[in-house]
Amino acid sequence: MAKALVEAYGCSVKAACQIVGLAHSTFYYQLQSADENGLCNDLDQEAGRHPTYGSRRLTHQLRRAPDCYRVNRKHIQRIMRQKDLLRPVKRRKCRTTNSEHPYPRYPNLIEDLEITLPEQVWVCDIT
């Protein structure tokens, strides 16, 4: 409506938006849905080309030429989540025991003992 006022009567954007009751920033707002489809298609192609890439690497890849998209990682991550393209996060396994040591292993002395009473056997491990 404000656009029609500006084009038909030649009034300023600010005045037309005040008449309609909108903020003048909404006059300049452009929907990004047309660009979104191209982004999704290019994201699918890049994810297919680089199957081990996560959202960070794909974001950098889409920012490069020839695509040159101006997107942030969270936007790419949201699209990847919707399209089920997110990669599982690799967790480091915390190793608490080093079994390959040169020291002798001692036998389990109570392995064959049948325990029937409380406090019949006390065991400790000093490593």
Kindly report the pTM of this predicted structure.
Answer: 0.51
pLDDT in tens, 5-40: 788 888 888 888 888 888 888 878 766 665 788 899
Helix axes of 33-49 and 55-63: crossing angle, nearest 10 degrees: 120
pLDDT at 118 over 90: yes
Tokens standing for residue 107: 């036998």
For the chain, domain boundaries:
1-30, 31-88
Q: What is the mean pLDDT of residues 77-95?
A: 88
Q: Which of 32, 31, 53, 33 minimizes the C-alpha distance to 43?
A: 53
Rg (CA), the chain: 32
Q: Which of 29, 27, 33, 31 minimizes the C-alpha distance to 15?
A: 27
pLDDT value of residue 77: 95
pLDDT value of residue 30: 67
Q: What is the mean pLDDT of residues 82-94?
A: 86
Q: What is the mean pLDDT of residues 38-50?
A: 92
**Count H helices, E strands: the chain?**
6, 0
